Amino acid sequence: MEENVDVLIAGGGVIGSAIACALTERGITDVCVVDLDLSGKYASSELNAGGARATWWHEVNIASCANTIEFFEEHAEEFSFRQNGYLWLYDDAEKFERAKTHHHAQARHGLEIELLDPTILQQRFPVLDRSLDEIVGATFSSRDGLLNPNEVRRYYRDRAIDRGARFLNRHYVEGVETSESEPGHRHVTTVHIAEVVKGQPADEERTIERILTQHRVPANEALDHPSFRPRVLINALGAWSPILSSKLGVCDFAVPVRRQIAMVDVRKKDLESDVDFSELGMIVDSSDLYFHPEGPYILAGYSTPSEPTGYDFTYDGDRFFENEIWPRLAHRCSSFERCGHVRGWSGLYSVTPDCSGIVGFADGFSNLIEAHSFTGRGVMQSYAVGRGVAELVGAGRFESIDLAPLHSRRFGQDRTKWVMEELHI
């Protein structure tokens, strides 16, 4: 049985949900979203550090993040948005000079980013009391902050559902049919959906994990489900976008990479710590360690340069904390000399060659839109990207923010067309 649908979105994470919300707000309500994991157990936005910033170097990233932050400000209480800022430390004089050159672009979007020398840095942030002689400068962006990604995604999804959108949980794209719409262009005609067999919760979870990490489902673990004939298909699968792209014969330039995060206890066992971390925002060290307060603990992350690509959700535990987190924390802050490892987790970044996302109609297709691979900043670009994709569907062009530089065809051109971002963590 086949069903016509105006817009079919593959992927119900923060980007897919934002697109559904923006489409229905625009009056396009015949929208169906399919996802294996609507609870978000494996969702990249659920497993990240919860930061939101517009401190970027390229206009398209600055504009889309600044626009999304304005949206977060309007719903600060709902999203637990705490604008305690982002502090970025530099030990490379050349890189710090490059950071300065982007201030005009950032200021155009209402971002008040301060330049701090080491003396001012120590006065403003006394917790950073070690090895400051190697720091040449820092930037502090007061409008950036921390929030609850789950509440952001929930907001988008609830608004979309209220206006008529459907979200199908435990479903995934099993196959796709296309036809030639005109010379050189194909049209997605039919999308075949499979549903995970309903059973014991533990069995369902094992099946979903196997699909998400191995991309194979035994025939007896899939149920028939009506196929869809969409007017528009949107690939918003994030780290899993290459799976759908391969079914369509689309070159996908993104790869999944594991990112690990640790929770750190800085409370002394024999006396109370004399350092108050509660009012700090995100601190990004020159070593690429990042950390911020999270309840009674400190959340700290580090992207291991040698991390291989792949769908890996294992957490390396004490080894990760002792080798990557604790030495970097203690190098910058004496308060972390006696810290302890509480727990941690891992999630996936979808990483492109220039560490910027992919948005736009797929080359060679008349009704396929890509919106994925934001290299860890899907939440902080979600509102702008959702609205931009809704504009593509409704009007065929971007109307509010020009996201055209994020089209995937840039990777087939010389590197001057890339949207290379250095400030990713």
Do 163 and 248 fall into the same domain? Answer: yes
Question: Helix H segments across 230-287?
Answer: 241-248
Q: Would strands 368-372 and 227-235 be described as parallel, antiparallel, or unpaired?
A: parallel
Give the span between the Cα atoms of 281 and 289, in whole angstroms: 14
Give the span between the Cα atoms of 211 and 129, in whole angstroms: 47
Do 133 and 173 fall into the same domain? Answer: no
Do 234 and 360 fall into the same domain? Answer: yes
DSSP for 328-392, written as a single string = HHHHH-GGGTT-EEEEEEEEEEEE-TTS--EEEEPTTBSSEEEEE--TT-HHHHHHHHHHHHHHH
Mean pLDDT, each 10-residue run in order, the chain (425 residues):
94 98 98 94 87 92 96 97 96 93 86 92 94 95 95 98 97 93 88 83 81 73 75 97 95 95 79 69 96 94 94 96 97 93 96 97 96 94 98 97 97 91 85
Do 160 and 134 fall into the same domain? Answer: no
Q: 3-state class of 249 per DSSP?
A: coil
User: Which one of 351, 367, 398 terminates a domain?
Assistant: 351
3-state helix, strand, coil in the chain (%, to 5): 35, 30, 35
Give the span between the Cα atoms of 144 and 354, in whole angstroms: 23
The token duo for 236 is 């918003």
Domain with 196, as residue range(s), is 2-46+150-253+354-417
DSSP for 83-148, written as a single string = ---EEEEE--HHHHHHHHHTHHHHHTTT--EEEE-HHHHHHH-TT--SSGGG--EEEEETT-EE--
User: Which one of 142, 176, 207 terminates a domain?
Assistant: 142
Do 267 and 336 fall into the same domain? Answer: yes
- Domain membership of residue 98 (yes or no) is yes
Residue 265, φ and ψ in degrees, nearest 5: -100, 120
Do 297 and 342 fall into the same domain? Answer: yes
Burial of residue 318 (CB within 10 Å: 0-12, 13-18, 19+) is: exposed
DSSP 168: E
Contact 17, 33 (CB under 8 A): yes
- Radius of gyration in angstroms for the set of CA atoms belonging to the chain, rounded to a whole number: 22
Q: Which residue has the tokens 């080798």?
A: 323
Q: What is the pLDDT of residue 245?
A: 96
Q: What is the pLDDT of residue 219?
A: 59
Contact 162, 176 (CB under 8 A): no
User: Which one of 304, 336, 351 terminates a domain?
Assistant: 351
CATH number of the domain encompassing residue 281: 3.30.9.10
Q: What is the pLDDT of residue 268?
A: 56
- Domain membership of residue 61 (yes or no) is no
Give the span between the Cα atoms of 117 and 107, in whole angstroms: 20
Q: What is the pLDDT of residue 270?
A: 45
Q: What is the pLDDT of residue 205?
A: 82
Give the span between the Cα atoms of 291 and 49, in whole angstroms: 8
